[in-house]
Amino acid sequence: MYDIIIIGAGPAGLTAALYALRANKTVLLIEKATFGGQITFSPKIENYPGFEAVDGNALADSFFEQVTAQGAEFELEEATAIIDNGATKTVVTDCGEHEAKAVIIATGAKHRMLGAGNEENFAGNGISFCAVCDGAFYAGKEVIVVGGGNSALQEAILLSDLCSKVTVVQNLADFTGEKKLVDVLKSKPNTEFIFNTVIKEFIGEDELKGAKILNTETNEEKDIFFDGAFVAIGLAPDNKAFENVAALDKFGYVDSDESCLTKTAGVFTAGDCRKKAIRQITTATADGAVAALAACRYIDGM
């Protein structure tokens, strides 16, 4: 029996573990993939306080080493369900079951991938998913933005102020984002738009050089060349397995209050899997602290 089980070991989950451990609670971290979450795809992070620049993997390792030094236990398993027993909760995984007095869901949200050739090879090494995080690395260079919704338009507008050229590649005949954003983007002199086009394959050996694109109307294929790519086709949370204890919005994000409490007493949430406006490392760590302290108060009041 643990005091708190945390599902997910990204910045939110690891911060929650740290705060819970410092409150003398026993903690089990359950992670199905990589300790550190999405930050491990960022080769250079420059917007996390305390570091002028830090490698994402190095920051993840630092988080993980800190919580394990404090006594956190961890399992590389996939959580498939949470059972509410009242005073206790059972977390079911692909390897068994674990019991706790409280649970924090910190499963994060993954950036949707295009499914193009070589995409995974260049993710974090030429292909980025956040202009706020990585745009400065491409100052004065040529980039593409893939997508046509509000997220893609906002990324392209930000990048147009940094890069020498921004080409937006959209698979539909027009943008799907707000007209105001479209107008702002079209007013930028260093932008270009390619419609009815998909990325077939990213080109390069050690470094990303460009992509092979396909016009879905004419079936014409050609190569385009650039220094970096920003994929902005949305995020995908992974909370479906927990909807019995946590209400989800229409996009699949967990609804919670300011203390990160879900609809179930003793079940909390933190980080990018939670319904919120901003998803950054700093907001994830803030959620982790809030959720952990709320979980500790809940346990202390039992």
Q: Which CATH number goes with the domain that contains 91?
A: 3.50.50.60
Q: Are residues 56 and 72 in the same domain?
A: yes
Provide the residue-wise pLDDT of the chain in tens; the chain has 302 residues.
999 999 999 999 999 999 999 999 999 999 998 899 888 877 678 789 998 888 888 999 999 999 999 999 999 999 999 999 999 999 999 999 999 999 999 999 888 889 999 998 998 899 998 887 789 999 999 999 999 998 899 899 999 999 999 999 999 999 998 899 999 999 999 999 999 999 999 999 889 999 999 999 999 999 999 999 999 998 889 899 999 999 999 999 999 999 999 999 999 999 999 999 888 899 999 999 999 999 999 999 99
Q: How far is CA 38 from CA 48, 65, 281, 283, in A?
A: 14, 17, 9, 14
Q: Are residues 198 and 273 in the same domain?
A: no
94 tagged catalytic = no
Domain, as residue range, for 58: 2-110+235-300
Q: Which residues, in sequence order, are CB contacts of 86 under 8 Å at separation 6+?
A: none
Q: Are residues 265 and 295 in the same domain?
A: yes
Reduced to 3 states, what is the DSSP secondary structure of residue 12?
Answer: helix
- The answer to whether the CB of 152 falls within 8 A of the CB of 177 is yes
Count the domains in the chain: 2
Q: Which residues, in sequence order, are CB contacts of 175 under 8 Å at separation 6+?
A: 148, 149, 153, 182
Q: Are residues 168 and 264 in the same domain?
A: no
Q: Which of 231, 252, 287 is the last residue of a domain?
A: 231
- The answer to whether the CB of 176 falls within 8 A of the CB of 201 is no
- Distance, CA of 246 to CA of 181 (rounded, Å): 34
- The answer to whether the CB of 67 falls within 8 A of the CB of 44 is no
pTM, two decimal places: 0.76
Q: Which of 231, 265, 287 is the last residue of a domain?
A: 231
Reduced to 3 states, what is the DSSP secondary structure of residue 121?
Answer: helix
Q: Are residues 162 and 182 in the same domain?
A: yes
Q: How far is CA 68 from CA 18, 131, 292, in A?
A: 9, 32, 16
Q: Which residues, in sequence order, are CB contacts of 202 under 8 Å at separation 6+?
A: 116, 117, 118, 119, 121, 122, 126, 127, 208, 210, 211, 212, 229
Check 3, 133, 227, 296 and give the catalytic one: 133
Computed over its alpha carbons, how large is the radius of gyration of the chain? Answer: 21
* Residues constituting the chain: 302
Q: Which of 189, 211, 231 is the last residue of a domain?
A: 231
Q: Are residues 75 and 106 in the same domain?
A: yes
Q: Are residues 168 and 27 in the same domain?
A: no
Check 3, 134, 227, 287 and give the catalytic one: 134
Burial category of 41 from C-beta neighbours within 10 Å (exposed 0-12, middle 13-18, buried 19 and up): buried
260 tagged catalytic = no
Check 3, 61, 95, 130 and give the catalytic one: 130
Burial category of 170 from C-beta neighbours within 10 Å (exposed 0-12, middle 13-18, buried 19 and up): buried
- The answer to whether the CB of 107 falls within 8 A of the CB of 32 is no
